[in-house]
């Protein structure tokens, strides 16, 4: 594959010159490379942009003020095309205060076109016969200088997006699904508006909702210790103490260094490191019962429901599976399990208008399937 040409932007003046051209574009392709795998925290390293004719690679280690991009990325008359936009738009909001919208997410579009494998490499291979080298996905984008190979990979990520979006829109229009994707993209674009309130670290740990309060205290104490160790060592938390090791520590509840050494992966750790882990466990075990944390009700844990509710859930799932098979779509797109749970709790809906109280139900889903859902729930 012939490598796309690009302009490297390493100065504020270079960014202003790029923005002068991008400001006249109706569509801008965008991608970001960030580091979460090699260092502590989250660092935006590179921004790739294209107007469909030119490509710019903005070195975010050199150009830290990207405010000239803000009017373009927030211009409602300029469509931004991304693939797997969720992380990038949150990164733009958190680090640069940019609300990127409107967007067209080609990953979302691929799923609504029935593609089971919707990664960019798979989509480009199917559409254009292009082969992307996935090895660069897990490279250290903080390193400088960037290699020519890394820059070519980054440029290829946006090179095809404007053209790809146009082809996908035509296909979606033919299937009557373009409005579906536009609504999904709009919801995605505004998801960055929701600022997560600070809370216990265990809320982001898979399986925490299944733990009793004492084990939840151990988990939180370990996660706090891991965060501190990760920051001191400039390492991602998961590389300091993996989720599997944390789960084993919770099960074993070691109280001595000898007991801790029996846990896989900790024998190679320094005595200082193990002492921090042991202290975290002991602090949680010594915590009075009245101070133990509790997993928030309504998050993860579902209350028991009546037989009628369960029957509704089963009926909705059977309908969803049949409908999604007929459409050639993944069932979660037609009606996710979380939406089914909400629908099953609605009292006696007569018309699709009555389903408006179901917050997670999309407008397009109500238009397309509302009457069928009401018939199932009567």
Q: Tell me how far apart the alpha carbons of residues 230 and 200 are, in angstroms, rounded to a whole number.
A: 17
Q: What is the DSSP string of 230-289?
A: HHHHT--HHHHS-HHHHHHHHHH---SHHHHHTSTT-TTS-HHHHHHHHHHHHHHHTS-G
Q: Tell me how far apart the alpha carbons of residues 188 and 126 are, in angstroms, rounded to a whole number.
A: 25
Q: Quote the pTM value.
A: 0.88
Neighbours of 337 (CB within 10 A): 12
For the chain, which domains are there? 7-193 (3.30.420.10), 201-291 (1.10.150.80), 307-377 (1.10.150)
What SS3 class is residue 307?
helix
> Residue 285's pLDDT is what?
97
Contacts of 288 (CB under 8 A, 6+ apart): none
User: Interhelix angle for 85-96 vs 178-190, to 10°?
Assistant: 30
Q: Tell me how far apart the alpha carbons of residues 216 and 209 are, in angstroms, rounded to a whole number.
A: 9
Q: Which residue from 377, 378, 350, 364 is spatially nearest to 108, judged by alpha carbons?
A: 364
Q: How far, rounded to the nearest angstrom, does the alpha carbon of residue 202 sit from its chain's CA centroid?
A: 18
Instruction: Tell me the two tokens of residue 342.
Output: 């909400």
Instruction: Tell me the two tokens of residue 263.
Output: 């846990």
Instruction: Tell me the two tokens of residue 96.
Output: 């640069």
DSSP state of 206: T
In tens, the pLDDT along 234-269 reads 999 999 999 999 999 999 999 999 999 999 888 788
What SS3 class is residue 27?
strand
Sign of CA dihedral 280, 282, 286, 290: positive
Task: Measure Cα distances from 14 to 10, 58, 69, 352 in Å.
Answer: 7, 9, 12, 53
Q: Tell me how far apart the alpha carbons of residues 224 and 9 are, in angstroms, rounded to a whole number.
A: 39
Provide the residue-wise pLDDT of the chain in tens; the chain has 378 residues.
578 999 999 999 999 999 999 999 999 999 999 998 999 999 999 999 999 999 999 999 999 999 999 999 999 999 999 999 999 999 999 999 999 999 999 999 999 999 999 999 999 999 999 998 878 888 899 999 999 999 999 999 999 999 999 999 999 999 999 999 999 999 999 986 665 667 899 999 999 999 999 999 999 999 999 999 999 999 999 999 999 999 999 999 999 999 999 998 887 888 899 999 999 999 999 999 999 999 997 655 455 578 999 999 999 999 999 999 999 999 999 999 999 999 999 888 778 888 988 999 999 999 999 999 999 998
In the chain, which ranges are continuous DSSP H helix? 12-22, 70-73, 85-96, 106-112, 120-128, 148-159, 161-175, 178-190, 213-233, 237-240, 243-252, 257-261, 271-285, 307-327, 331-334, 337-344, 363-377
Contacts of 282 (CB under 8 A, 6+ apart): 255
What are 44's strand-pairing partners? 34
């Amino acid at each position: 594959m012939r490598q796309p040409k690009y302009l490297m932007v390493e100065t504020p003046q270079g960014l202003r010159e790029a923005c002068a051209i991008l400001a006249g574009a109706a569509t801008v392709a965008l991608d970001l490379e960030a580091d979460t795998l090699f260092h502590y925290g989250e660092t935006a390293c590179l921004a790739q942009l294209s107007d469909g004719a030119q490509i710019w690679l903005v070195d975010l280690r050199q150009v830290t003020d990207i405010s000239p991009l803000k009017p373009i990325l927030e211009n409602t008359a300029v469509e931004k095309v991304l693939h797997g936009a969720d992380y990038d738009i949150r990164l733009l909001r958190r680090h640069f205060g940019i609300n990127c919208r409107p967007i067209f997410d080609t990953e979302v579009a691929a799923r609504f076109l029935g593609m089971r494998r919707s990664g960019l490499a798979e989509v480009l291979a199917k559409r254009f016969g292009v082969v992307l080298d996935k090895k660069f996905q897990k490279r250290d984008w903080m390193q400088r200088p960037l290699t020519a190979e890394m820059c070519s990979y980054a440029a290829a990520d946006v090179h095809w997006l404007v053209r790809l979006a146009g082809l996908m829109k035509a296909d979606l229009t033919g299937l009557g699904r373009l409005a579906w994707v536009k609504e999904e993209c709009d919801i995605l674009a505004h998801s960055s508006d929701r600022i997560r309130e600070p809370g216990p670290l265990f809320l982001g740990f898979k399986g925490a909702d299944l733990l009793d309060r004492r084990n939840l205290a151990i988990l939180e104490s370990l996660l706090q210790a891991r965060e501190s160790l990760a920051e001191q060592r400039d390492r991602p938390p998961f590389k300091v103490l993996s989720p599997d090791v944390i789960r084993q520590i919770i099960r074993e509840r070691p109280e001595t260094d000898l007991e801790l050494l029996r846990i896989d992966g900790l024998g190679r750790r320094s005595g200082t490191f193990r002492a921090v882990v042991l202290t975290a466990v002991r602090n949680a075990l010594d915590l009075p019962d009245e101070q133990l944390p509790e997993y928030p009700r309504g998050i993860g844990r579902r209350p028991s429901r009546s037989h009628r509710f369960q029957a509704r859930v089963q009926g909705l799932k059977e309908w969803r599976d049949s409908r999604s098979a007929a459409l050639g779509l993944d069932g979660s797109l037609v009606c996710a399990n979380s939406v089914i749970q909400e629908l099953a709790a609605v009292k006696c809906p007569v018309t699709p208008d009555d389903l408006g109280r179901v917050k997670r139900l999309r407008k397009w889903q109500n238009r397309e399937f509302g009457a069928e859902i009401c018939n199932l729930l009567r």
